[in-house]
């Protein structure tokens, strides 16, 4: 993935915005890109095609983090163990870096190397829906609104919020391989819905008991802000049990693929075992 971004960005004028794009796309768990590549492999699609939507989803995810870290949103100064983009450069540069990464995502998914025109159109449309006011941006807006709400969110409201904020891009990534193959996305959609919720619960758990050095970001922000989370509503032990149950559901959704989906099952286990 690093080599892919280096190649793509090398063709652009090396101004601070492009440097920031490279900076923002370095490191991270690469879970979303991995899901694209692995779901593609599951459907007989090679990395020469799958790398384009895989890098697209990582670019889109990076844009969301750059904007989320801005002072007007979460106001974070550390991401992946390094200064956030607006701290390393400035707020205006960070806004433009995020804008450029957002555009780059759709450029990458629409590249001819991805496949036939109908496949590229389907990927672009579904990515727009997952990223915008039906998905991630909606989830972010609900999250921001919750910070000033009169009452904490309920469990059902948090679940719906996270289905957009975190789950939508994870679901798109997991289904991308089936879209590339023009196959049924239902099993991978069910897998990803459970996986995305488990991922968020694991994040809430890490925010409470994680190591900031390993996480590479400031922790215990939610408690300081008085925000309701899966941990605050369920309790730590019950949240861990719920995450494990969701991983079991995710793995069961892969039954139609048999042993061919073992790597995706391992990824689901990783989501709740990670320390960053």
**Per-residue pLDDT reduced to its tens digit, 156-192:** 999 999 999 999 999 999 999 999 999 999 999 999 9
pLDDT higher at 274 or 60: 60
Residue 276 has pLDDT above 80, yes or no: no
Residue 113 has what pLDDT?
97
Predicted pLDDT at 220: 63
Is pLDDT at 215 greater than 90 in this prediction? Answer: no
- The pLDDT of residue 221 is above 80: no
Distance, CA of 60 to CA of 67 (rounded, Å): 11
Instruction: Kindly tell me if the per-residue pLDDT of 226 is higher than 80.
Output: no
Round to whole Å and give the CA distance between 194 and 175. Answer: 13
Confidence of residue 119 (pLDDT cuts 50, 70, 90): very high
Q: Which residues pair with 82 in a beta bridge?
A: 79
**Rounded to whole angstroms, how far apart are CA atoms 273 and 167?**
18
> What average pLDDT does the chain have?
93
Q: Of 197, 194, 174, nearest to 185 (Cα)?
A: 174
Note the pLDDT of residue 227. 75
Q: Is 48 exposed, middle or buried (0-12, 13-18, 19+ CB in 10 A)?
A: exposed
Answer yes or no: is pLDDT of 250 > 80: yes
Check pLDDT > 70 for residue 216.
no
CA-based end-to-end distance of the chain = 19
Structure tokens at 118: 């109908």
| Average pLDDT rounded to a whole number, residues 20-35 | 96
> Residue with structure tokens 């919750």?
146
Q: What angle do CA 200, 201, 207 make, to 5 degrees?
A: 90
Asked whether the predicted pLDDT for residue 217 surpasses 70, the reply is no
CA 22 to each of CA 25, 26, 101: distance values in angstroms, whole numbers, following the listed order? 5, 6, 10
Does residue 249 or residue 276 have the better pLDDT? 249
Question: What's the pLDDT at 109?
Answer: 98
Share of the chain above pLDDT 70, in %: 94
What's the whole-model pTM score? 0.93
Q: Identify the pLDDT of residue 237.
A: 95
Quick one: pLDDT at residue 238? 96
């Amino acid at each position: 993935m690093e080599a892919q971004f280096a190649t793509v960005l090398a063709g652009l004028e090396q101004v601070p915005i492009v440097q920031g794009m490279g900076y923002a796309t370095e490191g991270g768990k690469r879970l979303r890109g991995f899901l694209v590549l692995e779901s593609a492999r599951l459907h007989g699609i090679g990395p020469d095609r799958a790398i384009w939507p895989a890098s697209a989803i990582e670019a889109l995810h990076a844009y969301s983090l750059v904007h989320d870290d801005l002072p007007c949103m979460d106001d974070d100064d550390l991401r992946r163990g390094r200064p956030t983009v607006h701290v390393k450069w400035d707020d205006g540069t960070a806004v433009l870096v995020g804008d450029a990464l957002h555009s780059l995502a759709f450029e990458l998914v629409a590249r001819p190397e991805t496949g036939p025109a109908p496949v590229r159109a389907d990927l672009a449309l579904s990515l727009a829906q997952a990223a915008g006011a039906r998905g991630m941006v909606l989830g972010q807006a609900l999250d921001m609104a919750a910070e000033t709400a009169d009452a904490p969110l309920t469990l059902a409201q948090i679940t719906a919020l996270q289905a957009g904020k975190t789950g939508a891009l994870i679901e798109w990534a997991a289904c991308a391989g089936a879209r590339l193959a023009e196959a049924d996305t239902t099993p991978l959609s069910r897998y990803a819905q459970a996986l995305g919720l488990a991922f968020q619960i694991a994040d809430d758990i890490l925010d409470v008991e994680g190591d900031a050095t390993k996480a590479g970001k400031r922790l215990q922000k939610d408690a300081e802000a008085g925000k309701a989370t899966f941990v605050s509503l369920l309790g730590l032990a019950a949240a861990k049990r719920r995450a494990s149950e969701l991983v079991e559901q995710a793995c069961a959704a892969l039954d139609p693929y048999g042993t061919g989906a073992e790597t995706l099952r391992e990824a689901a286990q990783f989501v709740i075992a990670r320390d960053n």
